[in-house]
Structure 1
Amino acid sequence: MPRTAKELSVKAVAARKEPGLHAVGGAPGLHLQITESGARSWVARLTVGTRTNAAGKVVQHRRDFGVGSAQVVTLAAAREAAKALAVKVREGVDPVAEKIAARSRAMAQREAAMTVRKAAGAYIKAMQSKWKDKKAVERRESWLETYAYPHIGDILVADIELAHILAVLKPIWETKTETAEKLLTVLRGTIGWATVHGYRQGKENPARFKDFLDKVLPSPTKVKTVRHHPALPFAQMPTFMRDLRARNNSSARALAVVSLTALRASEVTEAKWSEIDLDAGLWVVPASRMKMEVEHRVPLSRQCVAIFREQLAEAPGEWVFPGTKPGKPLSSAALLEMLKGMPYVDAKGERITTHGLRSTFRDYVAEKTDYPREVVEMALAHQIESEVEAAYRRGDLFQKRKKLMAEWAVFCAKPAR
């Protein structure tokens, strides 16, 4: 045990400015440590036994224990803490090992309390700002409640293994493949959140598909049946547009804009006038409203601008297409309801959908134009699947898309024969 140095006063300690360790007395081994930058902290230098040095000689083993910042811990408090450390060392207790053990016990208690249900709730709460709307949260909570929690909801997230994930996925992997894929993404995120926050340690994430679950589950593309949204045959688009224009209401105009821009329904119904420059024929949809979370510049055809000007005369407020509830936009469901009251069906006789109108546009481009695939994909605001292609294509092909959308608008406005 080191000898206690001469006890310095608070004023004397404050006068120490040179970098290094300064014994301050009043407690065994207590020093004021000053760094080159001027930071000041308390250190208790105590002997905790013996050790063999490089020369093979047994010498005293000294260890420095941090007592706190001098900006926060007073000299009197530092002395009391150093005395307490000295008592522990004298009794054979290693304060460092004791601190590590206490941290481990606290971690064990946290892990013991964190079930998959609690972890998933915390993960969803943490991600709400990224997901665009309340429905996105509700959908994830519904998947968990229906398919995951009955199997693993009350299991500790620290104990989740491959078998648990399979118990959730196998019953729905081949019958509800798309839902199973989305649920797997939520579970992977939940376990990742638990790992980052210390509730799970030293284990791989058993909810990862690539190079793990793909060894025991078939590829989703092999088992799921792709159901296409019923789409209007593009030859009928001029008739459909004439019908919409004759109706002369906000829902009909919104559907016409969906048709002319090939945007998703919600991207149209939630539009704000601040996004649109009618004089420039440009609509910039912010990333926060796009499915791919990337800003999308939409070239507006002459016909589309005319529809917007009609709507502006009726709704000059914040929303381009205001809903029935004050301060809220028109809902996508309103467009679908309107389609249900119209006589249009796809080639199989199924009633068309708003999303199917995007397929109508794609079919027109494929059958009636020579535009490259990437121009169509950009127009539809699809993600470029090829990483190489995405890396080389930095622009958004705006001028080419502008010409394409103008041609599409002319086709949609063809007069009846």
Structure 2
Amino acid sequence: MPRRAKELSARAVDALKTTGLHAVGGAPGLHLQVSETGARSWVVRLTVGTRTTSAGKVVQHRRDFGLGSARVVTLAAARQAAIEHAARVRAGEDPIAQRQAARAQAMAEHAARMTFRKAAEKFISSMQSKWKDPKAVERRESWLESYAHPHIGDVLVGDIELPHVLTVLTPIWETKTETAEKLMSLLRNVLDWAAVHGHRKGKENPARFKGLLDKVLPPPSKVKKVRNHPALPIDRVPEFMRDLRARDNISARALAVTVLTALRTNEVARAEWSEIDLDAGLWLVPASRMKMSVEHRVPLSSECIEILREQASATPGRWVFPGGRDDQPLSNGAMLELLKEMAYADDKGQRITTHGFRSTFRDFTAERTDYPREVAEMALAHAIEGKVEAAYRRGDLLEKRRALMSEWSGYCLGAE
């Protein structure tokens, strides 16, 4: 029979000051625990079944149950709670296991109450470090606030079905098709995130287009109006570049490099000197900044190298084109602001954009040179469309592209 501890009086219990567990009797397994800081609390130590040790031996399973602080819970109340715990253990219950099960149940119920708005916030938070565009979070939050949250923001994410998705997408599917497509992708990703985290168990994703939404919505290609970036006509490029080179500032040099390399705005604006070898005439744009997430080797023409050397003498720090503060690169909007100031327009009278120069370069290659299409596409860092061609193409046509970029730069800066 288990040895029964001597029942201590309240005065005797108050006198216990030594750090450790002190049996106080009066109830099975009741102890006063004194911490190193002097804090005092009640613990009931009981045997709950058996367990198998790592050596394979079956031993009694002892558990400690906290009953609260001795400053709040009296000795009498602690003894009563210990007696009740002992009775539950004798009945085959495990209070700690029950408490853990209750906590798990509460967490499951809380997860089931997650709204679409909360799920979207958590998805965006988990992804923002992976998105290369610094405005990616702001854009997605704007789409959700404008089109999704007014309809489904407070709906439990586990309850989202096809009618909810259609309520969001249908009003803008034909009028703002490009935005609707991006919003559909965002809805799909949020619901996938919710499924992975246990908020949509056993449910398909109702924001999937192929095989689901395509049965009730027309294909985007049938309804959207393609908007091309306004581009400068080829014949006006030399004039534009003379005007641009007359401007002695960082934005002008960055724009000149963007035009001569046919790179995207972000690929140039966030360039670092460590990526560029001026002696070798080669720039390695890292995969993290490329749209296709593949490192891109850019051959630099002599004209482009000259501009970069000008910039190197002016800003020898980390960034090739630093912004207003030395620790930040040029903003993506700086070159666009310069273009607004220069006021050049395309053949329809629309003000040209930075990205439009990639179209101008493509037109120049097709209309003014004999280079094969794949050379121009490789220069623009476009994906190879055919799977077979992609499988067999190992090189990046660097030397052919070097010759092409030299002709392009010569035309831009050398024509009268």
- Common fold, TM-score beyond 0.5? yes
2:178 corresponding residue in structure 1: 178
- CA 1:157–1:402: 2 relative to 1, 3 Å: same
C-alpha contact (below 8 Å) 2:48/2:62 kept by paired residues:
no
1:279 corresponding residue in structure 2: 279
Q: CA deviation at 1:284?
A: 0.9
CA–CA distance in structure 1, aligned partners of residues 203 and 347 of structure 2: 51
- CA 1:371–1:42: 2 relative to 1, 3 Å: farther
Q: Does 1:260 align with 2:227?
A: no
Question: What amino acid is aligned across from residue 110 of structure 1 in structure 2?
Answer: H
Q: CA deviation at 1:29?
A: 5.3
- CA 1:93–1:367: 2 relative to 1, 3 Å: same
Q: CA deviation at 1:360?
A: 0.3
Q: What does the per-residue CA deviation read over 1:242-266, in whole Å, with 9 as the maximum and x for residues that have no partner?
A: 2222223222211111110001122
Q: Any residues of structure 2 matched to 1:123-162 within 5 Å, and which?
A: 123-162=123-162
Q: Any residues of structure 2 matched to 1:4-403 within 5 Å, and which?
A: 30-32=51-53, 34=55, 76-77=62-63, 105-106=105-106, 108-403=108-403
CA–CA distance in structure 2, aligned partners of residues 77 and 370 of structure 1: 83
Question: What amino acid is aligned across from residue 211 of structure 1 in structure 2?
Answer: G
Question: What amino acid is aligned across from residue 53 of structure 2 in structure 1?
Answer: L
Number of residues paired by the alignment? 353
CA–CA distance in structure 1, aligned partners of residues 49 and 262 of structure 2: 78
2:73 corresponding residue in structure 1: none
Question: What amino acid is aligned across from residue 272 of structure 1 in structure 2?
Answer: E
User: TM-score, normalization: structure 2?
Assistant: 0.77
* Secondary structure in structure 1 of the residue aligned to 2:297: strand
CA–CA distance in structure 2, aligned partners of residues 145 and 370 of structure 1: 49
Percentage of matched positions with identical amino acids: 65
- CA 1:390–1:43: 2 relative to 1, 3 Å: farther
C-alpha contact (below 8 Å) 1:107/1:198 kept by paired residues:
no
CA–CA distance in structure 2, aligned partners of residues 158 and 194 of structure 1: 8
C-alpha contact (below 8 Å) 2:48/2:89 kept by paired residues:
no
Q: What does the per-residue CA deviation read over 1:24-52, in whole Å, with 9 as the maximum and x for residues that have no partner?
A: xx875543354xxxxx79799xxxxxxxx
User: TM-score, normalization: structure 1?
Assistant: 0.77
C-alpha contact (below 8 Å) 2:50/2:58 kept by paired residues:
no
2:407 corresponding residue in structure 1: 407
Question: What amino acid is aligned across from residue 245 of structure 1 in structure 2?
Answer: R
Question: What amino acid is aligned across from residue 295 of structure 2 in structure 1?
Answer: E
- CA 1:372–1:174: 2 relative to 1, 3 Å: same
- CA 1:201–1:27: 2 relative to 1, 3 Å: closer
* Secondary structure in structure 2 of the residue aligned to 1:134: coil
CA–CA distance in structure 1, aligned partners of residues 355 and 102 of structure 2: 57
The RMSD of aligned alpha carbons is 3.0
2:19 corresponding residue in structure 1: none
Q: CA deviation at 1:185?
A: 1.2
- CA 1:392–1:102: 2 relative to 1, 3 Å: farther
C-alpha contact (below 8 Å) 1:123/1:193 kept by paired residues:
yes
- CA 1:173–1:33: 2 relative to 1, 3 Å: same
C-alpha contact (below 8 Å) 2:375/2:401 kept by paired residues:
yes
- CA 1:90–1:137: 2 relative to 1, 3 Å: same
